[in-house]
Amino acid sequence: MLDLAGTELTDQERLLLAAPEVGGLILFARNYESPSQLKGLMQDIRAVRKDILVCVDHEGGRVQRFRDGFTRLPPMAVLGQHWQQVPAEAIAWAHELGWLLASELREYDIDFSFAPVLDLDWGNSSVIGDRAFADNATAVTELAGGVMAGMHEAGMAATGKHFPGHGWVAADSHLELPVDERSFAQIEADDLQPFAALAGRGLDAVMPAHVIYRQVCSAPAGFSQYWLQQVLRQRLHFDGVIFSDDLSMEGAGYAGDFKQRCDLALDAGCDMVLVCNDPEAAGQVLAHLQQRKVSAHPRLQRMRGRPVADVDTERLQRARELAERLVGGA
């Protein structure tokens, strides 16, 4: 999975997207100008590759790439705060926000968003912070489950991140390699619980963290056969897609150069590797994958956006009013 430089496809990008080893495209704020521009960009992308998976980081709060022309979504911590008072209503709100998020993106033929965040907010991580629903596993599980159910209803797959939990460490894996010193038993008792529960409730994909859990494995989770095969696949019985986190992040530097990062992530169990914000590195990885002769796993097809019936305009208005009210109270 790679990205684009601007609001229109370049000739070089058309060639890149046509390569069968490129299975996904992630959009960022720099790729968005207006609803009409996004619609045109998506039409151009589909003209090159009808089958490519197109996604975006669209969680709400600080992480929402498309803003003007889209409903501003609140940080998910707002739902966690309400869950402490009225749990059932907070879960219902989560469902509607998940449905709204997905409905607005599916209108533009975007397949999925990398959401929801399943990390617990331990109060240590500024990069997670209010992106997390709450500081306890039960609230995170139920609220993220509500968002996931709403996304599914609107024809969109859900991706839980960042396995097995990024909220304990203070370091930002975009900028450095965080190390979590807790035991497996401590991680399993808390952070792992939302992943375990939602794996059994239809979670479509997981994105592992560029974090080393030193007492468990010497490799970051996204490069670890122990975490991805023994824990996620075997212990949690997860049979969905595993996406690497962005291999251009500093936390991925553990694995070496970009070819080595790609190999280690795929060999650990990732189905698709992301290389973002570094066109030269993306080109290196593409050439390497062409030499390696990889093929896409059939499970990636479950990430494709599904057609749904016409959106209920009255429900859409109510969901937008709910989002606006929650943004205002955040």
Catalytic residues, which ones? 174, 245
Residues 148-170, buried b or exposed e (16+ Cβ, 10 A)? bbbbbebbbbbbbbbbbbbbbbe
Question: b or e along 97-132 (b: 16 or more beta carbons within 10 Å of the residue's beta carbon)?
Answer: bbbbbbbbbbebebbbbbbbbbbbbbeebebbbbbb
Measure the CA–CA gap between 116 and 134, rounded to whole angstroms: 12
CB count, 10 Å around CB of 65?
Answer: 17
Q: Across-strand partners of 64? A: 58
Nearest alpha-carbon partner for 275 in 243, 306, 313, 303: 243
- Residues 6+ positions from 53 with CB-CB distance below 8 Å: 1, 23, 24, 25, 111, 112, 300, 303, 304
User: What span, in angstroms and rounded, lies between the C-alpha atoms of 196 and 72?
Assistant: 30
